[in-house]
Amino acid sequence: MSPEMIRLLAGATGETLLMVAISAGIGTLFGLPLGVFLATSGKGELFAAPWANRVLGVIVNATRSTPFIILVVAIIPFTRLIAGTSIGTNAAIVPLTVAATPFIARLIEGAIREVDQGLIEAARAFGASPLQIVLKVLIPEALPSIVLGLTLAVVSLIGFSAMVGAVGGGGLGDLGIRYGYQRFMPEMMLAVVVVLIVLVQALQSLGDVFARRLNKRIRHA
């Protein structure tokens, strides 16, 4: 591999990590409260608001069922509004975040719903308010599952980020397509795939270790 290739590869990896980190970060910022709300606003639940729950549920499902590549193109006006442009790494962060938020919200909802209902009952019995129940019971108890969910989201976002290459988003996917495929450089394609595999592997292991640390339900030797 030439130094030029390594330079390109390093730059693309940096772009991918940046896109994924920022979209996952903002996605969590919005997805966490949204997920908690989805998990606690059903009929008879802590913040019972069945209609809002249903409406948000439909919006989340609609976003999640739109193929990512279509979403990218469909929200170009919105992307321009936020990032000032529709081309480049910064612009790519907008559709990635839009896709990440409902995905993360559903993962968080699932994690919160796994928490034993008995704990909510116990917390209500000793006088906790709904907000205290969320902050002191539901989120801490769901944390190991939340961490695993976020790991899954980050890994999926790495895959999504390869697609934004199609609209000039940069990153590893873009590099692979432009050099590896369009310029007939199979070694570049291979290098991109290897970097992606290593990246995903490393992030998944990190997430697993972190989640296991947090999980006190299993005994640690």
Partner 1 sequence: MNAPLGYLNDSSLQRLIPAEAIVRLESVSKVYPGRHGAPVSALDGIDLAVPQGSVLGVIGRSGAGKSTLIRLVNGLEKPTSGRVVVDGADISALPEKALRHARRSIGMIFQHFNLLSSRTAAENIALPLEVAGYDKAVITARVDELLSLVGLSDKRNRYPSELSGGQKQRVGIARALATKPKVLLSDEATSALDPETTRSILDLLSRINAELGLTILLITHEMAVIRSIAKEVAVIDGGRIVEKGDVFDVFTRPQHTVTRSFLADEPGRALPPYVAERLRPEATPNSQAVVRIGFRGPHATDPVLARLARDLNIETNILAGSVDEIAGRPCGTLVIGVPEVSLDKTLAFLTHYGLDTEVLGHVA
**Least CB distance to partner 1 at residue 200 (A):** 28
User: Residues near 86 by Cβ (< 8 Å), separated by ≥ 6?
Assistant: 76, 79, 80, 167
**Least CB distance to partner 1 at residue 140 (A):** 5
**Least CB distance to partner 1 at residue 148 (A):** 15
Give me 112's structure tokens. Answer: 């919160």
**Least CB distance to partner 1 at residue 114 (A):** 11
Binding site for partner 1 (CB under 8 A): 116, 118-119, 121-129, 132, 136-137, 140-141, 143, 214, 216-219
**Cβ nearer to partner 1, comparing 77 with 127:** 127
**Least CB distance to partner 1 at residue 122 (A):** 4
Report the distance separating Cα 73 and Cα 201, nearest Å. 30
At 44, give phi and psi (nearest 5°): 75, 10
**Cβ nearer to partner 1, comparing 116 with 187:** 116
**Cβ nearer to partner 1, comparing 133 with 162:** 133
**Cβ nearer to partner 1, comparing 143 with 185:** 143
Give the CA angle between residues 107, 20, 52 to the nearest 5°.
35
User: Residues near 73 by Cβ (< 8 Å), separated by ≥ 6?
Assistant: 167
**Cβ nearer to partner 1, comparing 3 with 127:** 127
CB 170 within 8 A of CB 12: yes
**Least CB distance to partner 1 at residue 121 (A):** 7
At 81, give phi and psi (nearest 5°): -60, -40
Report the distance separating Cα 142 and Cα 48, nearest Å. 20
**Cβ nearer to partner 1, comparing 45 with 87:** 45
Report the distance separating Cα 85 and Cα 189, nearest Å. 28
Length of the chain counted residue by residue: 221
Q: Which H or E element spans position 208?
A: helix 186-214
